[in-house]
Amino acid sequence: MGDWSMTSPLGVSMENSEISSISRVTLSSSRQNHDSLYSSSLPLSKSSHNVLSAFCIEENVPQCILYINQELSSLGLASMCIATPVEATLNSVPALNAMYELLQAQRRSQRSLEALEQDLLRTSSTLEHLQTGNYRLKDQLELLKREKSGLHEKERQLQLKIETLQSCLKSEKEEIQKLQNIIAGRASQYSHDAKRKERECVKLKERLGQLLIDKRDKKLAIDVLNYLGRSDGKRIQWKTGKAGTSHEGDMYKSLLNDYEARQQSLMVENSELKKVLQQMKRDMMYILSPHKPCAKASPGDDSPERGFPPAGLEGQDEVGECSRENLDQSCEKAREQLTYSIRLQWRRLKNHMEKLDSQVSLAQTQQQSGSEEAVPREVHEEEMQRMRLEVQQGKDFIHTQQQLLQKQLNSSFDDETAALLNDCYTLEEKERLKEEWRLFEEQKGNFERERKNFTEAAIRLGHEKKTFEEDRAAWLKNQFLNLTPFVDRKKYSLSDSQSALSIRSEPELQQSYTPAKLTKSSTYNEFSTTYSSISDGLPSTTELYRTLHLIQPETRHSKRGSWQEPSSPIRAENLFGKSKCSVRCRDPCILSLDKDGDSPI
């Protein structure tokens, strides 16, 4: 900045007018550099000198000159050759002119720059000014908008007010109209009455005038032929004070009668209402109290019931109150007590109902949410799960079993041999099974037969025993009776006859049973042996039968069941039937045998 003042005297005089421009400050450094070119006395910075020296040095002067020439010509300044074309030397006049023109150009450009800068500054300031103005206006606009809305609101309220006032006005007008109508009606009524009265007044006046004029007063009189008796037949009484009092008395009596009648009816109504209230109270107490025993019996039950044992206890108090109430019905206190107790019961009933309602709603909500039923439902679910699991397990087990079975069956062989083997195996088993069944059946049949025989034998034994006893008795009798030497002959004959009888009976029986016992199985002997093992003391079956000639010795049959060899089936049947009957009547426990025995025949 300090150099600035220095340059002014050095600078050309025509540039002095432009010194005042502010833009010079910025250009001072460049100007300084340029000015330093002219003045040698300036304490030039070595750098500029060096710059210049970089361009032009003593060696490349002609090139510099040429270059500058070119530049000048390109710039279009002075198309003057500052250098002589022959010698590359600097022509001073054109050079000075060129320099002068350059300076001029420089000054011009600087001036334009300054002007531009000024314009820029100006525009920026105007811009700022405009911006501030804009902001201000925006704020104003906001304010105004708010004001506008506020005013709108006020206007609306005022409108409402206007409407209400208008409606008020209308109603007031209507009321006024109504009142006016009323007034009009009354006025017309008054005028009507007034007119009537006036007419009457006029008539009165006329009458009065007439009377005054007339002066002939027609007396009022009654002309009766004869006076009548009173309608009730009594004589007329003198008008005394007593009559007055008696009338008063009568009047009061009638009034009292009426009041009494009314009071009676009210009392009746009252008592009926009281009864109704009592009944209601009892019903309410009954409704509330029966929960008491339930609560005691099942304490784990619903919760509301537990809350009501006090109701029962209090009910007992109230029963006492009831009796008290009944005693003095008309007493004020009793009435109050009754109403109080009714209210109490009602309140309790209401509470109860509310509780029930809340419970119901709770239950409903819980049902919806599923939490109250959660416990049983969960348990139920668990049970279901478990059962499903079991079912699944069972199914799996069955499946595995099936698989194993299949595998086993199809394990080592191919299909055909496996099937064949299976078949063989099963066939063999079947055969064996059949055999065993047959054997079993045979044995069963034999067993039954033997049982039958045994029973029959037992019966026969019984018979024989009986006959033997009879024989013995007879023999003893004979002996006793024939205590003579000639006893022996008779005895033997009798005994023979007896024994012959017995023996004779046997072949019959024997005959009957032989067809039945013709066929025997091979295994019968085995059975008989078993029997013999069982009954030690007794003779074996076969021995018995042999002695009785029931069985034939050592017959053997392969077949079983060829019962179709009846020699005399009919007879056998008959005898069998007889024996059956006898068996039946003797020994009921052998009935089953008959049934068994019936089957083969």
Partner 1 sequence: MNFSEIFKQSNQLCRISPDGRYLATCVQYRLVVRDVNSLQILHLYTCLDQIVHMEWSSDSLFILCAMYKRGLVQVWSLEQPDWHCKIDEGSIGLVSSRWSPDGRHILNTTEFHLRVTVWSLCTKAVSYIKYPKACQKGIDFSRDGSYMALAERRDCKDYVSVFVCEDWHLLRHFETETQDLAGLEWSPNGCVLAVWDSCLEYKVLLYSLDGRLLSSFSAYEWSLGIKSLAWSPSSQFLAIGSFDEKVRILNHITWKKITEFEHPATICSPKTVVYKEVEKRPVRLHIITRNVCPTDEISQPPFQIPVVKPDLDRANPKVGVSSLAFSADGRYLATKNGGFQVHALSWHSNGDSLVLIGKEHLCLCYMDTEDKSTDSNIWTK
Total of residues contacting partner 1 (CB under 8 A)? 50
Q: How far is the CB of 360 from partner 1 (least distance, A)?
A: 36
3-state secondary structure of 83: strand
* Stretch 151-180 residues interacting with partner 1 (CB under 8 A): 179
Q: Which is nearer to partner 1, 22 or 243 (CB)?
A: 243
Q: DSSP letters along 518-575, please?
A: S---TTHHHHHHHHHHH-SSSPPHHHHHHHTT-S-TT---S--------SSHHHHHHH
The verdict on 268 binding partner 1 (CB under 8 A) reads: no
Are 519 and 557 a contacting pair, CB within 8 Å?
Answer: yes
**Token pair for 53:** 């020296």
Q: DSSP letters along 275-316, please?
A: HHHHHHHHHHHHHHTTHHHHHHH-TTS-HHHHT-HHHHHHHH
The verdict on 202 binding partner 1 (CB under 8 A) reads: no
Interface with partner 1 (CB under 8 A), residue from 13, 17, 20, 237: 237
Q: How far is the CB of 176 from partner 1 (least distance, A)?
A: 13
Are 288 and 350 a contacting pair, CB within 8 Å?
Answer: no
Q: How far is the CB of 271 from partner 1 (least distance, A)?
A: 17
Q: What CA–CA distance (Å, rounded) separates 338 from 323?
A: 11
Q: Which stretch binds partner 1 (CB under 8 A): 242-250, 319-327, 464-472, 584-592?
A: 242-250
Q: How far is the CB of 234 from partner 1 (least distance, A)?
A: 10
Interface with partner 1 (CB under 8 A), residue from 129, 199, 203, 504: 203
Q: Which is nearer to partner 1, 191 or 567 (CB)?
A: 191
Q: Which is nearer to partner 1, 193 or 354 (CB)?
A: 193
Interface with partner 1 (CB under 8 A), residue from 51, 176, 211, 267: 211
3-state secondary structure of 246: helix
The verdict on 496 binding partner 1 (CB under 8 A) reads: no
Q: How far is the CB of 173 from partner 1 (least distance, A)?
A: 17
Question: 578 in the Ramachandran plot: left (φ > 0), alpha (ψ -120 to 50) or beta?
Answer: alpha
Q: What CA–CA distance (Å, rounded) separates 94 from 322?
A: 149
Q: How far is the CB of 278 from partner 1 (least distance, A)?
A: 23
Interface with partner 1 (CB under 8 A), residue from 86, 93, 213, 228: 228
The verdict on 254 binding partner 1 (CB under 8 A) reads: yes
> For the window 301-320, what string marks contact with partner 1 as x by the rule CB under 8 A?
--------------------
Question: 215 in the Ramachandran plot: left (φ > 0), alpha (ψ -120 to 50) or beta?
Answer: left
The verdict on 224 binding partner 1 (CB under 8 A) reads: yes
Q: Which stretch binds partner 1 (CB under 8 A): 9-17, 220-228, 340-348, 360-368?
A: 220-228
CA distances from 406 to 412, 421, 425, 574 (A): 12, 14, 16, 61
Q: How far is the CB of 276 from partner 1 (least distance, A)?
A: 19
Q: Which is nearer to partner 1, 54 or 212 (CB)?
A: 212
* Stretch 111-140 residues interacting with partner 1 (CB under 8 A): none
Place of tokens 């023996």: 503
Q: Which stretch binds partner 1 (CB under 8 A): 224-232, 292-300, 366-374, 480-488?
A: 224-232
The verdict on 243 binding partner 1 (CB under 8 A) reads: yes
Say if residue 524 is exposed, middle or buried (CB neighbours under 10 Å; 0-12, 13-18, 19+): buried
The verdict on 415 binding partner 1 (CB under 8 A) reads: no
Cα 412 versus chain centre, distance = 60
Give, to the nearest 10 degrees, the angle between helix 569-586 and helix 487-516: 110
The verdict on 404 binding partner 1 (CB under 8 A) reads: no
Q: Which is nearer to partner 1, 191 or 264 (CB)?
A: 191
The verdict on 595 binding partner 1 (CB under 8 A) reads: no
Interface with partner 1 (CB under 8 A), residue from 193, 317, 378, 565: 193
Q: What CA–CA distance (Å, rounded) separates 456 from 462?
A: 9
Q: Write the CB contacts of 134 (distance below 8 Å, at least 6 apart in sequence).
A: none
- Return the number of other C-beta atoms located less than 10 Å from residue 250's C-beta: 10
Q: Which is nearer to partner 1, 58 or 232 (CB)?
A: 232
Q: How far is the CB of 330 from partner 1 (least distance, A)?
A: 19
Convert 437-460 into a string of H (helix), E (strand) and C (coil): HHHHHHHHHHHHHHHHHHHHHHHH
Interface with partner 1 (CB under 8 A), residue from 55, 67, 190, 437: 190
Interface with partner 1 (CB under 8 A), residue from 50, 53, 167, 181: 181
Q: What CA–CA distance (Å, rounded) separates 288 from 316?
A: 12
Q: Which is nearer to partner 1, 269 or 383 (CB)?
A: 269
The verdict on 251 binding partner 1 (CB under 8 A) reads: yes
* b/e code 372-391 from CB counts within 10 Å (16+ = b): eeeeeeeeeeeeeeeeeeee
Q: How far is the CB of 264 from partner 1 (least distance, A)?
A: 13
Cα distance between the two ends of the chain: 164
Q: Which is nearer to partner 1, 51 or 204 (CB)?
A: 204
CA distances from 129 to 5, 136, 138, 591 (A): 35, 11, 14, 144
Q: Which is nearer to partner 1, 274 or 452 (CB)?
A: 274
The verdict on 600 binding partner 1 (CB under 8 A) reads: no
Gyration radius from the chain CA atoms? 79
Q: Which residues bind partner 1 (CB under 8 A)?
A: 179, 181-182, 184-186, 188-193, 200, 203-204, 207, 211, 214, 216-232, 236-237, 239, 243-244, 247-248, 250-252, 254-255, 258, 262, 266
